[in-house]
Amino acid sequence: MIYLDNAATTFPKPETVYTKMDTFYRTLGANPGRSGHKMAVAAEKEIEDTRAVVAQLFGIQDPRRLIFTFNATDAINMGIKGLLKQGDHVITTYLEHNAVSRALYKLEKRNIITVSKVNNSQDGFVDPDDIKNTIIPGTRLIVMTHVPNALGTIQPIREIGKIARENDIVFMLDAAQTAGVCELDVNAYFIDMLAFTGHKGPLGPTGTGGLFVGERVTLDSWREGGTGFEPTSLSQPEELPFKLESGTPNTVGIAGMRAGIEYVLLEGISKIRAHEQRLTDKLIQAIGNDDRFILYGTKESNKRVGILSINVEGFKPYEIGAILDQSFGIAVRPGLHCAPFAHQKMGTFPDGTVRISPGYFNTEEDIDQLIAALYKIVSERI
Amino acid sequence: MSDRYARQILFHGIGSLGQRLLMDKSVVLAGCGALGCTSANLLIRSGIKHLKIIDRDYIEETNLQRQVLFDEEDIKKNLPKAVAAQRKLQKIDSDARIEPVIGDLNPSTIESLLSDADIVIDGTDNFETRFLINDYCVKNEIPWIYGACIGALGLVMDIVPPKTPCLRCVLEDMPPFGTTETCDTAGIIAPIASIIASIQVTEALKILTNNLDELSKGLLKIDVWRNEIKRLHVENISKKLDCAACKQQRYEFLAKDKYSMETSLCGRNAVQILHPDGSRLDLAKLAGRLEKIGNISFNSFLLRLKVGKYELTVFPDGRSIISGTNDILIAKGLYAKYIGM
């Protein structure tokens, strides 16, 4: 199987992730920070070390402001629902994943907040000026994706972050597609909240992720419980990360994520991104000038990550997905990618697109085989 | 007891004791098409007082030729088969407790649907459900009567676990998806369904009244057009020594290892159906079978069939995407009818 669905989850993982999780769970599988014995202390140290590693990945000065979550969706919900209050106005885009759209819609439907959605260009970019022009006196939050998962286009977040900061608005970034793939620095990009998942770019296991909560932000806890900290108080502790991290964490997952991020840092983010970009470019060059293929998003290499959405003349996306899977052993993702509004904007609703997302472990030969398969399919048009 | 069953009680095999037994038993009818309609009618008239009718389909005009409980009014009212059958049967016996289930018999629902059955009558239109019923009935030692027909040909077999061989002793595995003819592709004449269902109910009456010595032995095969009646003496091969179900207690359909997976495809008004073992379909052959059904187009990668508002895209491994519906029941029904499962 040639796996080209890395935007859904990266596969395979670095060998060190598998061995780390195996060793960790066999030797240090205690409940961190609860019991005080050697194993519990060692498990807690693993978690705190990971916090520091993640902090390094995003340029976070104080690791305590990094909250572990179960995925990006979990982090986004924690951020949006912990921050917004009655009467707040929120600016977002049409390019968002349902994790953002639905969390906002729920609050909007209950008349707690109002939401404005900013348009994007045909090739998949939001204009910072449009964001600026949408700000009203009650605007509390700008929340958007760094890279829309259906399009792969890198949004101008530094400019938007700056606008947010100048207007004293919280800027929240959904970095599900870019953590571990694009250079990210919460200070340089004026990011107040950053949500990420561990199983994509960070090359970790599923069930991991996190939310960075900047100093300008105070979040309500959205679940309460045991923290291993101040157990006698009836209230949730105010200190981070305890305030937002209740219940036994995904210790083995966090350990695995650490191994993944360490691998990323060792290889170098720029090298990883360059590899994925080179593979995508190769594909774009091979099919981009053939009318039988429709490509979405910009063709400019430096403005996109290794995600390419296409359609093939004469076939539905799900047909292409099924043919690639069973006749050629190639895994891609057809459909809407949980981003219905992005597809409405692209004119690809409701069937969606075929999303091809190579990862760091794919080779040029994988792309050659995909190209050959796509040409074979279009040559048998019915 | 009223006079209603007087003639049946006079029959030596039933008697008043047999009649009382029948009225106490609970029968589940899996599928209410041509076989199911005739079976239900005979069961209720014979004095079955607890009947559950499971079917996921709605009545169509092409059903009226052979499905004896339905009429034009039912189509106008767009009634599900299970409900139309219940209404009709209730007129025959207002006392009987007839429970219509508009739904799917699958590994998740089978326990709740069959747990109170004293016997299960097969009225399904696909092998997958039959193998599932076989697993459940073998595991729980519930008798079931296999029945199937197509064209002018019918098959019937009693399966009384643990006494008789089971369906997997005889067929071992279900034919791969998309490789079997169905009534919707090969046609059927009404009399064969009536004959097979009549034998099924007769066998059920014997089992429910403890006349086990009188049971039909082995697999009975009847071709009413060629005037052939054959009996495959499976009881002579006895039970297959390594039968996955009745010898090894590996209930692969119940455990979903060999059961199809249906997924409603995100936002696309389409359902995907695939079998974990896959299939190796000759799409040209399938096209030949389906050309009378609707608009067909195919190449070596896929086949498209348009039937009414639905489009079925079939791939060589038997996987199919049925667009025009989000409803898994409708999609499964279409697949069973036209592709064959």
Same fold, B3-237 and B261-339: no
Q: Does position B56 have pLDDT exceeding 80, yes or no?
A: yes
Give the span between the Cα atoms of A352 and A363, in whole angstroms: 26
Residues comprising chain A, all counted: 382
Q: Which residue in A263, A337, A259, A249 sits closest to A70, CA to CA?
A: A249
Whether residue A49 lies within 8 A of chain B, CB to CB, comes out as no
Residue-wise pLDDT for B276-300, tens only, equals 888 889 999 999 999 988 999 999 9
Domain boundary assignment for chain B: 3-237, 261-339
Measured between beta carbons, which residues in chain B are less than 8 angstroms from residue A377? 301
pLDDT digits (tens, 9 = 90+) for A45-96: 999 999 999 999 999 999 999 999 999 999 999 999 999 999 999 999 999 9
Question: Is B299 an 8 Å CB contact of chain A?
Answer: yes
A318: nearest CB among B265, B298, B300: B265
Nearest residue in chain A measured CA to CA from B269: A350
Taking a C-beta distance cutoff of 8 angstroms, is the pair A374, A290 a contact? no
B183 is catalytic: yes
Contact at CB, B272 and A318, closer than 8 angstroms:
yes
CA A239 and chain centroid, separation: 26
Q: What is the pLDDT of residue B241?
A: 75
> Which pLDDT does position B21 carry in this prediction?
98
Q: Distance of alpha carbon B202 from its chain centroid, rounded?
A: 17
Q: With CB atoms and an 8 Å threshold, state whether B268 touches A326.
A: no
Q: Is B268's Cβ below 8 Å from some Cβ in A?
A: yes
Q: Which residues contact B204 (CB under 8 A, 6 or more apart)?
A: B27, B43, B119, B121, B145
Structure tokens at B15: 């008697």
**What is the distance between the alpha carbons of residues A307 and A280, in angstroms, rounded to a whole number?**
7
> Are the C-beta atoms of A178 and A367 separated by less than 8 Å?
no
List the single range of A372-381, B209-218, B263-272 with lowest mean pLDDT.
B263-272
Q: Residue for token digits 């959405």?
A: A309
Is the backbone peptide bond immediately before A32 cis, with ω within 30 degrees of 0?
no
CB contact under 8 A, B268 and A327: no
The Cα of A382 is separated from the nearest Cα of chain B by a number of Å equal to 6
The length of chain B, given as a count of residues? 341
Inter-chain residue contact A322 with B315, CB threshold 8 Å: yes
Q: Amino acid identity, residue B69? A: L
* Confidence (pTM): 0.87
- Rounded to whole angstroms, the Cα distance separating A358 from A336 reads 18
Domain boundaries, chain A: 2-10+269-379, 15-267
Count how many pairs of residues, chain A against chain B, have C-beta atoms within 8 Å: 55
Q: How confident is the model at residue B267 (pLDDT cuts 50, 70, 90)?
A: low
Q: Which CATH architecture has domain B3-237?
A: 3-Layer(aba) Sandwich (3.40)
B265 touches chain A (CB under 8 A): yes
Tens digit of pLDDT per residue, chain A (382 long)? Answer: 999 999 999 999 999 999 999 999 999 888 887 778 989 899 999 999 999 999 999 999 999 999 999 999 999 999 999 999 999 999 999 999 999 999 999 999 999 999 999 999 999 999 999 999 999 999 999 999 999 999 999 999 999 999 999 999 999 999 999 999 999 999 999 999 999 999 999 999 999 999 999 999 999 998 888 887 777 788 888 899 999 999 999 999 999 999 999 999 999 999 999 999 999 999 999 999 999 999 999 999 899 999 999 999 999 999 999 999 999 999 999 988 888 888 888 888 888 999 999 999 999 999 999 999 999 999 987 7
Which CATH number applies to B261-339: 3.30.310.10, 3.30.360.10, 3.20.20.80, 3.40.640.10?
3.30.310.10
CATH for the A15-267 domain, from 3.90.1150.10, 1.20.58.220, 3.40.50.1460, 3.40.640.10: 3.40.640.10
Q: Where is average pLDDT lowest: A96-105, A258-267, B205-214, B321-330? A: B321-330
For the packed helices B34-45 and B81-92, what is the interaxial angle rounded to 10 degrees? 20
Res. B221: pLDDT tops 90: yes
Q: Which of B32, B169, B183, B243 is catalytic?
A: B183
**What's the token pair of residue A159?**
């400019």
Nearest to B301 among A340, A350, A380 (CB): A380
Which residue among A340, A350, A377 sits closest to B269, beta carbon to beta carbon?
Answer: A350
pLDDT level of residue B238 (50, 70, 90 thresholds): low
Backbone dihedral angles phi then psi of residue A193, each to the nearest 5 degrees: -140, 135
Interface test with chain A among B266, B271, B274, B317, by most A beta carbons within 10 Å: B266
**Are residues B317 and A352, on separate chains, in Cβ contact within 8 Å?**
no
Of B265, B299, B304, the CB nearest to A380: B299
**Structure confidence at residue B235 as a pLDDT band (50, 70, 90):** low
**Looking at residue B242, what is its pLDDT?**
86
Q: Do A382 and B304 touch (CB under 8 A)?
A: yes
What integer pLDDT is reported at residue B1 of this predicted model?
60
The CA-atom distances, in angstroms, between A5 and each of A146, A297, A307, A343, B272 are: 19, 18, 9, 18, 19
Integer Rg of chain A from CA: 21
Name the CATH superfamily housing domain A2-10+269-379: Aspartate Aminotransferase, domain 1 (3.90.1150.10)
Q: Which residue in A335, A352, A382 is closest to B299 by CB distance?
A: A382
